């Protein structure tokens, strides 16, 4: 969760500190990005057996929702869960939106939305449907995304997993 951005809170904190402001500091950013450099996804053969309960690719969005919008977010999920599950992208499945019970990194967000894909190209198809104002499913996904906290400091993440059995190692 993000800290208070209320100016009155900031002024009170300065008064309590008797005008002393902590010196500016910086820490190096360590970013880890794994690309397809080491892992290549095998194309579906069309007749391969089901290799697991999920598809070949799992897309996970991690994010925060502003606390003031929690009730609205939960109502949206209850009302829109069925629509989100009827993807207009063949082969793409909405697996649900979850509250994080436990995690080691706070910066990843308190909520997860999980998608199941067969091909990476379905991510592009999904984006096109979300951009299409005439696509009811796309509008529901856009509405879901609109709940994400826009604060730059809010937790956010994206993870793409690929089925090891369908991967060239």
Q: What predicted TM-score, i.e. pTM, was given to this entire model?
A: 0.71
Burial of 1 (0-12, 13-18, 19+ CB in 10 A): middle
Would residue 103 count as lying in a domain?
yes
Would residue 70 count as lying in a domain?
yes
Would residue 42 count as lying in a domain?
no
pLDDT mean over 106-129: 90
Where is pLDDT greater, at 44 or 134? 134
Whether 40 shows a pLDDT value over 70: the answer reads no
Would residue 145 count as lying in a domain?
yes
Helix H, strand E, coil C: the string for the chain is CCCCCCHHHHHHHHHHCCCCCCCCCCCCCCCCCCCCCCCEECCCCCCCCCCCCCCCEEEEEEECCCHHHHHHHHHHHHHHHHHHCCCCCCCCEEEEEEECCCCCCHHHCCEEEEEEECCCHHHHHHHHHHHCCCCHHHHHHHHHHCCCCCCCCCCEEEEEEECHHHEEC
Contact between residue 42 and residue 164 where contact means Cβ atoms under 8 Å apart? no
| pLDDT score recorded for residue 1 | 45
Token reading at 158: 């994206």
- CATH number for the domain harbouring residue 72: 3.30.70.100
Q: Count up the domains in the chain and report the number.
A: 1
Query: What domain range includes position 117?
Result: 57-169
Q: Which residues contact 81 (CB under 8 A, 6 or more apart)?
A: 96
Would residue 41 count as lying in a domain?
no
Would residue 138 count as lying in a domain?
yes
What are residue 159's phi and psi, to 5 degrees?
A: -130, 135
Would residue 66 count as lying in a domain?
yes
Contact between residue 89 and residue 153 where contact means Cβ atoms under 8 Å apart? no
Would residue 162 count as lying in a domain?
yes
| pLDDT score recorded for residue 72 | 97
Where is pLDDT greater, at 43 or 104? 104
pLDDT mean over 68-88: 95
Token reading at 152: 């730059």
């Amino acid at each position: 969760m993000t800290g208070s951005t209320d100016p009155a809170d900031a002024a009170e904190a300065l008064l309590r500190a008797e005008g002393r402001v902590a010196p500016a500091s910086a820490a190096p950013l360590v970013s880890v990005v794994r690309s397809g450099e080491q892992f290549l996804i095998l194309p579906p053969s069309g007749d391969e057996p089901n290799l697991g309960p999920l598809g070949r690719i799992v897309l996970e969005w991690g994010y925060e929702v502003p606390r003031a919008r929690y009730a609205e977010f939960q109502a949206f999920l209850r009302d829109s869960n069925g629509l989100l599950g009827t993807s207009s992208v063949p082969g793409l499945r909405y697996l649900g939106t979850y509250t994080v019970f436990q995690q080691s990194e706070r910066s990843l967000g308190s909520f997860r939305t999980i998608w199941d894909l067969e091909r990476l190209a379905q991510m592009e198809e999904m984006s096109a449907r979300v951009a299409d104002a005439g696509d009811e499913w796309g509008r529901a996904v856009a509405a879901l995304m609109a709940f994400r906290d826009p604060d730059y400091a809010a937790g956010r993440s994206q993870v793409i997993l690929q089925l090891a059995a369908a991967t060239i190692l």
